[in-house]
Amino acid sequence: MSKAKITAIGTYAPSRRLTNADLEKIVDTSDEWIVQRTGMKERRIADEHQFTSDLCIEAVKDLKSRYEGTLDDVDMILVATTTSDYAFPSTACRVQDYFGWENTGALDINATCAGLTYGLHLANGLITSGLHRKILVIAGETLSKVTDYTDRTTCVLFGDAAGALLVERDEEIPGFLAFVQGTSGNGGDILYRAGLRNELNGVQLAGSGKMVQNGREVYKWAARTIPREFERLLQQAGLTSGELDWFVPHSANLRMIESICEKTPFPIEKTLTSVEYYGNTSSVSIVLALDLAVKAGKLKKDQTVMLFGFGGGLTYTGLLIKWGM
């Protein structure tokens, strides 16, 4: 069976910053409340004419400039997003059109904040099965366009960004060691953005196209589920937490990550996050955290890393990987 590994990374965030001080002028909130409850100081916001595909293209350009090989033989583009430019065509097709690669598949993945880890899991499956050789897994979000800036309970949380990872066939070292997944569709109504249908699980949906969440319930679900699945994932790979170099949970909220770590034997100092200066960027948060660590010289080739995406659905995918570059 073929093996797959991550061989390149690129990220992009819009230049406009939305600080806690800016939010104090928009809703009844304070820097102290936001920092204490979430660990966030600022987020990046796309301008009016910038959409998710524009951010994804910039992230791929960044990857391209840092990668020694060619991307002309990419044979699949997977884009994780919940804020696609159009209902269709997909954002992946917009990225393909920009770069002009013709012999490639292109599709979007809708798994909210778990989109990046779902995308990597699918890329690993497509490569190890022998069907594909080189897959771009991109995450891109313009959450500011679907955030209700009159709702202080959500508008302080979200930001915009994009990130890309290249997954390639490798005949020597397996880059993907183990995975866990789970879904609780019965919790769909605690975090949603309505589409064509305005009822879900017997609940009348609100929000007029903006994101709606019951933050407290989402927090409780994540703090209960992720520590349990952290242990299951280690068992799956036959590893102990001491053999893990880094834990990269979805950067939804620093306090939530602390609460997850308190329930595992893993020290918070060995988590990689992006929440402080980017806010919650949904599917992008993990790739931003990885890139910050690469640039800081913390994340190194062959280190063992746990990625854990979780979010609306409710759904999650955790992956144990060997960092490949």
**Catalytic residue IDs:** 113, 250, 280
Q: Does 317 bind ligand ACO (CB under 6 A)?
A: no
> In whole angstroms, what is the distance from residue 138 CA to residue 92 CA?
8
Q: Does 283 bind ligand ACO (CB under 6 A)?
A: no
> In whole angstroms, what is the distance from residue 119 CA to residue 136 CA?
9
Among residues 81, 83, 96, 112, the one that binds ligand ACO under rule CB under 6 A: 112
Q: Which long-range contacts (CB under 8 A, 24 or more apart) does 203-209 make?
A: 207/148, 209/146
Among residues 91, 124, 253, 273, the one that binds ligand ACO under rule CB under 6 A: 253
Among residues 213, 225, 271, 317, the one that binds ligand ACO under rule CB under 6 A: 213
Nearer to ligand ACO, 113 or 233 (CB): 113
- Provide, rounded to whole angstroms, the least separation between the CB of residue 282 and ligand ACO: 5
Q: Are 138 and 107 in contact (CB under 8 A)?
A: no
Within residues 82-101, the interface with ligand ACO by CB under 6 A covers: none
Of 29-37, 52-60, 65-73, 162-170, the segment contacting ligand ACO by CB under 6 A is 29-37
320 CB-contact burial (10 Å; exposed 0-12 / middle 13-18 / buried 19+): buried
**Which tokens sit at 238?**
């036959």
> In whole angstroms, what is the distance from residue 236 CA to residue 206 CA?
40
Cα–Cα distances (Å) from 253 to 175, 198, 278, in that order, read 28, 28, 11
Q: Mask of contacts with ligand ACO, 173-212, x by CB under 6 A?
A: ------------------x---------------------
Q: How many residues bind ligand ACO (CB under 6 A)?
A: 22
Q: Does 111 bind ligand ACO (CB under 6 A)?
A: no
Residue least distant from ligand ACO (Cβ): 215
Nearest CA-CA partner of 164 in 144, 140, 128: 140
Residue 110, SS3 per DSSP: coil
**Which tokens sit at 220?**
């409780």
Among residues 53, 144, 274, 282, the one that binds ligand ACO under rule CB under 6 A: 282
Q: Does 113 bind ligand ACO (CB under 6 A)?
A: yes
| Helix H or strand E encompassing 126 | helix 115-128
Of 239-247, 249-257, 270-278, 294-302, the segment contacting ligand ACO by CB under 6 A is 249-257
> In whole angstroms, what is the distance from residue 78 CA to residue 139 CA?
8
Q: Does 311 bind ligand ACO (CB under 6 A)?
A: yes
Among residues 215, 245, 268, 277, the one that binds ligand ACO under rule CB under 6 A: 215
Nearer to ligand ACO, 230 or 323 (CB): 230
Q: Does 38 bind ligand ACO (CB under 6 A)?
A: yes
Could you tell me the sign of the dihedral formed by the alpha carbons of 18, 22, 26, 32, in that order? positive
Q: Does 18 bind ligand ACO (CB under 6 A)?
A: no
Q: Where are the beta strands (DSSP E) in the chain?
A: 3-12, 17-19, 42-44, 76-80, 105-109, 134-142, 160-170, 176-183, 191-192, 199-200, 203-204, 212-213, 246-249, 304-311, 315-322
Q: Mask of contacts with ligand ACO, 128-147, x by CB under 6 A?
A: --------------------
Nearer to ligand ACO, 178 or 223 (CB): 223
Nearer to ligand ACO, 214 or 264 (CB): 214
DSSP-assigned letters across all residues of 273-313 = --HHHH-B-GGGHHHHHHHHHHHTT-S-TT-EEEEEEEETT
Q: Which residues bind ligand ACO (CB under 6 A)?
A: 29, 33, 37-38, 112-113, 152-153, 156, 191, 213, 215-216, 218-219, 252-253, 256, 280, 282, 311-312
